[in-house]
Amino acid sequence: MKPNRLILLLSLALLALSLSACGGTPPAVTWPGLAADDNAAYLTNGSIIHAVRLSDGAKLWDFSSASKSVFYSNPAFTADGQLLVGSAANDYALFRLDPKADDANRVTWTFTGAKDHWVATPLVVGDIVYAPNADGNLYVFDLSIPGEDKLTGTVPLGGKLWSQPILAGERLIVPSLDHNVHFLDVKTLKEQTSHVLGGAIPGGGVSDGKYFYVGSFDSAMVAMDVSDGTPAWIAPVQSWVWGAPLLVNGTLYFGDLGGNFYEMNAADGKILASFQPDGAILASPILVDGHIVFVTENGTVYSLKPGETNPFSLEQLTAKLYTAPVAAGDLILVAPFQSDSSLLIALDKDGKQAWSFSPQK
């Protein structure tokens, strides 16, 4: 081959590689997902799911799929204690994993019929699984059906379904990134009504059985009647709301991307208190021993006594915190993103670090 031809070929190959490196496939890298049962924490972190023993933070097992799956949604637990977790890679696979099995028998069921990424955590009600997919379909499975084909229904709702559905009485409520909140009859899976909000809903909502409370990129929290989807009230806030609110004793607790944290009366949407911690708040708060625990993008874990506006800083990490913390026994689990040292940290209620987990451990 002539030298100039070789140079040209190499240059073009280099350019092809550059584009691959610059862009690659649509980005699947994002912050990890987290869930815990009585024994272990399960961290979905890219191509690997880590199972970590709660008592000491030791690795129990790792899982990665042969189909090069990418995981970042929070795993869900089935009634028999198995994990359900979907892939955000182009295999579009939803896996059921048995945490007690050996590595060779870890996968107990796989569904590959979806057409897009799994971002949302499935909702498990007994043997029935409601799994929203970014292809706009809600896939319904009955895990009691033997064999691989457990799909009992596919409900096309449209948009990208990124958040976990909520069951409120007879209503199955499915928020969508395309601004819609869908209200389905849980028995027939027929859509009863839908309501369009002013912005995208990436993080889902919460219900007390009568109302569904959800925030959106419209910088508002909305209470919707679960029977017909009618908004009972719409409460403007300072910035876009990402995570689902926490509902405790008639008060909603949530943050926004502008770095504000709110305590809001669920009855009328009145802001009872608001304050600015140290950064944007994407993750949903959790309730731990009567205190509201929430995390900020700047890496701080806060604990707040309901009714007060001066949260206590439990821990300050040199990483970003986007994943919702998880309460596991006496521990608070947080999953730092872009941390140099740890993938998972366990704190006690006073903020003292019980253990940290990194893949090398």
Applying CB under 8 A, which residues contact another protein?
2, 4-5, 8-9, 12, 15-16, 18-19, 22-23, 26-31, 72, 88, 117, 119, 134, 159-160, 162, 177-178, 198-200, 202, 216-219, 240, 257, 282, 322
Q: Which residue has the tokens 């449209």?
A: 158
Residue 107 CB contacts under 8 Å (≥ 6 apart), including other chains: 65, 95, 96, 97
Q: Closer to another protein at the Cβ: 11 or 55?
A: 11
Could you tell me the smallest distance in angstroms from the CB atom of residue 339 to another protein? 15
- Taking the complex as a whole, the smallest distance from the CB of residue 86 to another protein amounts, in Å, to 13
CA distance 251 to 269: 9
Give the strands of the sheet with 59-63, arranged side by side: 33-36, 40-45, 48-53, 59-63
Nearer to another protein, 52 or 241 (CB): 241
CB 305 to another protein: min, Å: 30
- Smallest gap from Cβ 124 to another protein, in A, equals 22
Diameter over CA atoms, the chain: 79
Q: Which is nearer to another protein, 198 or 359 (CB)?
A: 198
Nearest to another protein of 88, 138 (CB atom): 88
Judge whether 43 and 335 are in contact, CB under 8 Å. Answer: yes
Helix, strand, coil percentages in the chain from 3-state DSSP, rounded to 5: 5, 45, 50
3-state secondary structure of 331: strand
What's the closest the beta carbon of residue 5 comes to another protein, in angstroms? 6
For the purposes of burial, counting CB atoms within 10 Å of the CB of 83, is it exposed (0-12), middle (13-18) or buried (19 or more)? buried
By C-beta, is 36 or 257 nearer to another protein?
257
For residue 135, the minimal CB distance to another protein (Å) is 10
Residue closer to another protein (CB basis): 18 or 318? 18
Q: Residue 114: CB partners within 8 Å, gap ≥ 6?
A: 86, 92, 94, 133, 135, 137, 139
